[in-house]
Amino acid sequence: GDFANEVDTLVIGSGPGGYVAAIRAAQLGQKVTIVEKGEMGGVCLNVGCIPSKALIAAGHRFHNAKHSEDMGIIAEKVSINFEKVQEWKGSVVKKLTGGVEGLLKGNKVEIVRGEAYFASENSVRIMDEKSAQTYNFKNCIIATGSRPIEIPGFKYTNRVINSTGALALKEVPKKLVVIGGGYIGIELAGAYANMGAEVVVLEGSKQILGGFEKQMAKVVERRLKKNGVEFKMEALAKGVEESETGVKVTAEVKGKEEVFEADYCLVTVGRKPNTDELGLEQIGVELTERGVVKIDKQCRTNISNIYAIGDVVEGPPLAHKASYEGKIAAEAIAGEKSEVDYLAIPAVVFSDPELASVGYTEAEAKEAGFDVIASKFPFAANGRALSLNETDGFMKLVTRKDDGLVVGAQIAGPNASDMIAELGLAIETGMTAEDIALTIHAHPSLGEITMEAAEVALGTPIHIV
């Protein structure tokens, strides 16, 4: 029937932004409906963070099984049943997406399947194949996420694939060309190289992983090269020719044309916000110059009862940023004074080895007018790293010269994704290098690297001179 449903808060999109916002809004006493046109859990759970980390883990297992001779482990006839890898990956995704649905229901959030389109500042039409319904809301949170960009000359097919296609392959490619050395390209390049693919990465600039310091990117580049990945920097992909069995990618590398043959061509050159097909222009929701939804510190758009979070707004397209903003928006709707503060937001690459950064880099801190010291400690000087046979990389701690305040940290090394949490907490709570140095860290652990980097800042390291 075409009567209108009435809700307090309507959330569009069930990714890590939307589902977290819905749960928090329900916890704060709102009657909440969440709309999803695709799979529960959005990009992150279905075709992003989770399945990519599963493939990366499988790649590590395989690679380590084959290459642990240093430790005296000789594994003969190690092989991959990729169909089984994909099946396992799918089971991980299913557990989590089912979990999200359970959490939403447990919090009494109504789940509606369909595509939402704004009809007014207080209502959406939700359409599925069969019907359309109207939902009137007091407040709405747009969490529609983003999708891969397509570049001219590289229309997505069975062989010219984006990250979604790369996660769903039925076989490990013998040869893979990756266009774009950003974090998604590098993670997938590493995973497939570890599973035996010959990989070439074409990067337009002079450095892969452009968002990170050169020294850090170099650690990854060196390791990937060791694992057989080839890099072509300053390479502009021009076009692709496709046959039934493969692709021929033409690129201009430092001004000279080169051709790369492979089974697949993976294009990972960025993502664009899902702001179209939502009716935003119809109700006058403002976008920024970059085409993302414009919001204030409470994630409110120019229309006071409509909020936006996650990949559809400014900032790094990361799941934890989307979730963080989701909580802020829900709290703002409930009348709380919550505001976003991105000071301690971590950025992580699940490369080989991992990269992680939080707060300022040394250069950024200087630019912001801080007088800082950057203190470094290598993984190679840590007992745990040595006993894991994982000694590539370093930690860099950025502290203020006058009072030792921790303003940033960068890690290139194994488990950087977990280690960065302590530094985020340090920044969030206003800790100094001395606070960290005085904290007893278990031995032997990678955490001792953090303690030692703080000691370096104080001029009193024990394990390096």
Q: Closest separation between CB of residue 440 and ligand FAD, Å?
A: 31
353 preceded by a cis bond (ω within 30 of 0): yes
Distance CA 302, CA 309 (A): 14
DSSP 8-state class, residue 29:
T
- The stretch among 316-324, 358-366, 408-416, 437-445 that binds ligand FAD (CB under 6 A) is 316-324
Q: Does 320 bind ligand FAD (CB under 6 A)?
A: yes
Within 8 A by CB and 6+ apart from 124, the residues are 10, 12, 35, 116, 117, 118, 134, 135, 137, 140, 279
Which CB atom, from 266 or from 457, has the smaller least distance to ligand FAD? 266
Distance CA 140, CA 34 (A): 10
- With tokens 């290098």, the residue in question is 433
Q: Does 209 bind ligand FAD (CB under 6 A)?
A: no
Q: Closest separation between CB of residue 19 and ligand FAD, Å?
A: 8
Q: Which of 7, 10, 11, 12 binds ligand FAD (CB under 6 A)?
A: 12
Nearest of 270, 268, 277, 282 to residue 37 by alpha carbon: 277
**8 Å CB contact between 123 and 136:** yes
Q: Does 13 bind ligand FAD (CB under 6 A)?
A: yes
Which CB atom, from 261 or from 418, has the smaller least distance to ligand FAD? 418
Tally DSSP H helices, then E strands, for the chain: 14, 22
- The stretch among 142-150, 189-197, 206-214, 281-289 that binds ligand FAD (CB under 6 A) is 142-150
SS3 of residue 131 by DSSP = coil
Q: Which of residues 341-400 bind ligand FAD (CB under 6 A)?
A: 350
Q: Which of residues 239-278 bind ligand FAD (CB under 6 A)?
A: 274, 278
Nearest of 423, 150, 106, 124 to residue 268 by alpha carbon: 150
Q: Which of 165, 173, 317, 359 binds ligand FAD (CB under 6 A)?
A: 317
Q: Which of residues 77-136 bind ligand FAD (CB under 6 A)?
A: 115-116
- The stretch among 101-109, 199-207, 318-326, 454-462 that binds ligand FAD (CB under 6 A) is 318-326
Q: Closest separation between CB of residue 257 and ligand FAD, Å?
A: 30
Which CB atom, from 317 or from 413, has the smaller least distance to ligand FAD? 317
Which residues are 32's β-sheet partners? 9
Q: Which of residues 39-68 bind ligand FAD (CB under 6 A)?
A: 42-44, 48-49, 52
Token digits of residue 97? 């997406």
> What residue number has its CB nearest to ligand FAD?
145
- Compute the Cα dihedral for 129, 130, 134, 137 and give only its sign: negative
Which CB atom, from 143 or from 453, has the smaller least distance to ligand FAD? 143
- Compute the Cα dihedral for 320, 315, 93, 180 and give only its sign: negative
Which CB atom, from 297 or from 401, has the smaller least distance to ligand FAD? 297
Q: Does 217 bind ligand FAD (CB under 6 A)?
A: no
Q: Does 35 bind ligand FAD (CB under 6 A)?
A: yes
Q: Closest separation between CB of residue 268 and ligand FAD, Å?
A: 8
Indicate the helix (H) or strand (E) that contains 438.
helix 433-438
Distance CA 276, CA 45 (A): 23
**8 Å CB contact between 202 and 171:** no
CA 157 from centroid of its chain's CA atoms: 24
Determine how many CB atoms are found less than 10 A away from the CB of residue 111: 17
Q: Closest separation between CB of residue 452 and ligand FAD, Å?
A: 27
Query: How many residues make contact with ligand FAD (CB under 6 A)?
Result: 36
Helices 319-333, 18-27: inter-axial angle, 10-degree rounding = 30
Q: Closest separation between CB of residue 17 and ligand FAD, Å?
A: 3
63, 320, 443, 463: which one is catalytic?
A: 443
Active site residue 443: yes
Q: Which of 7, 169, 184, 454 binds ligand FAD (CB under 6 A)?
A: 184
- The stretch among 32-40, 102-110, 356-364, 399-407 that binds ligand FAD (CB under 6 A) is 32-40
Distance CA 338, CA 248 (A): 52
Which CB atom, from 246 or from 279, has the smaller least distance to ligand FAD? 279
Binding site for ligand FAD (CB under 6 A): 12-18, 35-38, 42-44, 48-49, 52, 115-116, 143-146, 163, 184, 274, 278, 310-312, 317-320, 322, 350
Annotated active-site positions, please? 443
